[in-house]
Amino acid sequence: MAKAHSHGQWTSRMGFVLAATGSAVGLGNIWKFPYMIGQSGGAAFVLVYLACIALIGLPILVAEWMIGRRGQKNPISTMAEVAAKHGSSRSWAVVGFTGVLGAFLILSFYSVIGGWALSYMGDAATGAFAGMDKDATGAAFTAFLGNAGSLLTWHSVFMLLTVGVVAMGVAGGLERASKLMMPALGVLLLVLVGYGMTTGGFGQAAAYLFNPDWSKLNGGVVMAALGHAFFTLSLGMGIMMAYGSYLGEDVDLLRTARTVVIMDTVIAIAAGLAIFPIVFANGLDPAAGPGLIFVTLPLAFGNITGGVALGTIFFLLLTFAALTSAISLLEPVVELVEERTPLSRVGATVIAGFATWALGIAALLSFNVWGDVTLLGLNIFDLLDQLTSKFLLPLTGLGAIVFAAWCLDQESVRRELKLSEGGYALWRIVTRFIAPIGVLAVFVGNL
């Protein structure tokens, strides 16, 4: 049974904006988006991505906040109660369930990668990359992944930090941590972009990111842009629903969503302008995909003047990005446990954190001891990744937008979003047809 408890609240709109942006800005922005742009047609890809953000990402973000704010509870109870209030079946709760489950599963392996960022920050700060060549940084990364003990240590440290923040509550933990880390992240990023401008590689980096190459656009690229728009805004995980449940009535959802989306995109592009000048100025390969951050960049940091400082700054930036996302992943799970059990906030956080940590161990072992353990041809890490990104997230996001567009009383939505006549017409077309069809297309395309 739900117990009565004093429900957390954001203390200011700015605090909420920073926490939501902190959730949105993560590994996806710093590591994935830059190389996706480079590989998929530069400005041509950016334009497609922006269209996906505007037509699908933003409406679903607003829908999740709106549902959360109406329910004021964990995503499962929220979906059930808001549905009942609008004359729909309480089984809409399943959308909340798949969201919370997705957040839990993602955090287990996200924390493993957060641990890599922490470990590499230490290496960068102590000059461990000094003088290494490409083979050496590649071998160092392979050796790191092969060492279950180190992965476990860093995963544990990262998880402890996450639990520490979330245990302190919505305002005292999530909001306060975001108010500290997000501005710091912005400053670190500016320093790196500033450095990039002083290298000879800035022009080449800008060209790589922005020169439109329309020939690279195809169905696969459009799908990738759509999928990324979804992931980067932390949609379909119950996160934004949980965040909405701590929101006061006075916050303008559309305006706030616009701010979060713009900051998320600007930071992703800035990350490209931080990373690629270093890559090009040192004659390295920009298309290195996953190895870009943990193999290619260490190579550069080990061989340029100021590499120790720049490397430390970069991996600190990555750590902040990962940590502000990780706390948002734990929050819906904690909100659920806190409301459904007699546990206190701290107790709920410790239990949820412990369960996530334990599952994370299975994920990290797939890089070494359990490398051969596979299901459906995937190791545990990849299985968790695929299960969430291909199934749970799109289905949850689809559920949220369909519910908001078809089940909520539309007159109340119109008032809540302060829509004009034209804005309302547009909102209806986008939320009833364009966004759900877009998500469905990604879902089916992924299968």
Which range of residues in 42-50, 164-172, 226-234, 359-367 is near ligand PHE by CB under 6 A?
226-234
Q: Rounded to whole angstroms, how far apart are CA atoms 341 and 176? A: 26
- The yes or no reply on residue 199 touching ligand PHE (CB under 6 A) is no
User: Is the dihedral angle over the CA atoms 111, 104, 270, 164 positive or is it negative?
Assistant: negative
Q: Does residue 64 contact residue 244 with C-beta atoms inside 8 Å?
A: yes
For the chain, how many residues are written? 447
* 3-class secondary structure, 379: strand
- The yes or no reply on residue 325 touching ligand PHE (CB under 6 A) is yes
- The yes or no reply on residue 40 touching ligand PHE (CB under 6 A) is no
How many residues bind ligand PHE, per CB under 6 A? 15
Rule CB under 6 A: choose which of 40, 162, 232, 431 binds ligand PHE.
232
Nearer to ligand PHE, 74 or 325 (CB): 325
- The yes or no reply on residue 21 touching ligand PHE (CB under 6 A) is no
Beta carbon of residue 235, minimum distance to ligand PHE (angstroms, whole number): 9
Beta carbon of residue 161, minimum distance to ligand PHE (angstroms, whole number): 15
Tokens of 343: 């546990």
How far CA 318 is from CA of 108, 238, 270, 369, 428, in Å, comes to 18, 23, 13, 27, 38
- The yes or no reply on residue 27 touching ligand PHE (CB under 6 A) is yes
- The yes or no reply on residue 26 touching ligand PHE (CB under 6 A) is yes
Beta carbon of residue 113, minimum distance to ligand PHE (angstroms, whole number): 10
Nearer to ligand PHE, 80 or 226 (CB): 226
Q: Does residue 353 contact residue 211 with C-beta atoms inside 8 Å?
A: no
- The yes or no reply on residue 237 touching ligand PHE (CB under 6 A) is yes
Rule CB under 6 A: choose which of 29, 108, 319, 366 binds ligand PHE.
29
Classify 398 in phi/psi space as left (phi over 0), alpha (psi -120 to 50) or beta. alpha
How far CA 193 is from CA of 113, 186, 381, in Å, comes to 24, 10, 33
Beta carbon of residue 106, minimum distance to ligand PHE (angstroms, whole number): 5
**Interhelix angle for 393-402 vs 219-232, to 10°?**
80
Beta carbon of residue 422, minimum distance to ligand PHE (angstroms, whole number): 31
**Residue whose structure tokens are 């700015």:** 14
- The yes or no reply on residue 28 touching ligand PHE (CB under 6 A) is yes
Q: First and final CA of the chain: distance in angstroms?
A: 38
Nearby residues of 72 by Cβ (< 8 Å), 6 or more positions away: 7, 78, 245
Nearer to ligand PHE, 231 or 315 (CB): 231
Question: Where in 238-257 is the site for ligand PHE (CB under 6 A)?
Answer: 239
Q: Rounded to whole angstroms, how far apart are CA atoms 364 and 116? A: 11
| Backbone φ, ψ for residue 128 (5° rounding) | -65, -20
Which neighbouring-strand residues pair with 375? Answer: 378
Which range of residues in 24-32, 62-70, 312-320, 412-420 is near ligand PHE by CB under 6 A?
24-32
Centre a 10 Å sphere on the Cβ of residue 395 and count the other Cβ atoms it contains.
19
Nearer to ligand PHE, 35 or 202 (CB): 35
Which range of residues in 123-131, 140-148, 228-236, 271-279 is near ligand PHE by CB under 6 A?
228-236
- The yes or no reply on residue 23 touching ligand PHE (CB under 6 A) is yes
- The yes or no reply on residue 98 touching ligand PHE (CB under 6 A) is no
Binding site for ligand PHE (CB under 6 A): 23-24, 26-29, 106, 231-232, 234, 237, 239, 325, 328-329
